[in-house]
Amino acid sequence: MEFTRRAGFDSRLQGRRGPVVTHLLLACSIVVAALAVLYGAVSPARAAGYEGPTGYAPGTVVISQSQRRLYLVTEDGSPISYPVAVGKSGKQWRGTVSIDGKYRNPAWAPPAEVKRAEPWLPDYIPGGSSRNPMGMRALTLTGGEYAIHGTNRPTTIGTAASFGCIRMYNRDIVDLFDRVSVGTPVVMMP
């Protein structure tokens, strides 16, 4: 008896074998990339494919409210991209400011406007508390009203949810915190 079929080969798939394998490889690479981001092997900032804004000096932070992205322009002009939450309707702003403070595990006292909207909040939340909406790091901005900070509400990233601050995943704010300094320009775009 002669065996005419190769193991694992079905002649009915012969015409579709190439695309099937290609689709399987693409699906596997997407799963591997997602797992790498999930387990911290690759930052979502590095995994993002969009090139971001151009024409800004290296070291500049550029925030696109419409794209819900924060970009840090690197020395070679290519940006590192991070997903963010921006101010909700009526709380968005634009302009150029700079970072005027860097804080690890910042404490937080809700501003009067936030306290009116969320009266159940305590008057003070210590740094490092899981209830602290500032997360693991905060970069305060000139003008005193806003900051770029981590969050205890990661599901809001990618939305318009804040009172004007820029929220980041905690792992991303830690990365950004280590890359910028006091005086770094921050450009807020619509």
pLDDT in tens, 172-182: 999 999 999 99
The answer to whether residue 23 is catalytic is: no
d(CA 77, CA 185): 15
CB within 8 Å of 32: residues ≥ 6 apart: none
Q: Which of 165, 166, 176, 187 is catalytic?
A: 165
d(CA 189, CA 16): 47
- What is the chain's mean pLDDT, rounded? 82
- What integer is the mean pLDDT of 116-142? 96
d(CA 143, CA 110): 17
Q: Which of 68, 137, 149, 171 is catalytic?
A: 149
User: DSSP letter at 97?
Assistant: E
Higher-confidence residue of 178 and 44: namely 178
With helix as H, strand as E and coil as C, how does 134-148 read? Answer: CCCEEEEECCCCCEE
Quick: pLDDT tens for 134-174: 999 999 999 888 999 999 999 999 999 999 999 999 999 99
Question: Residue type for 92, please?
Answer: Q
pLDDT at 50: 47
d(CA 24, CA 48): 22
pLDDT at 117: 94
The answer to whether residue 28 is catalytic is: no
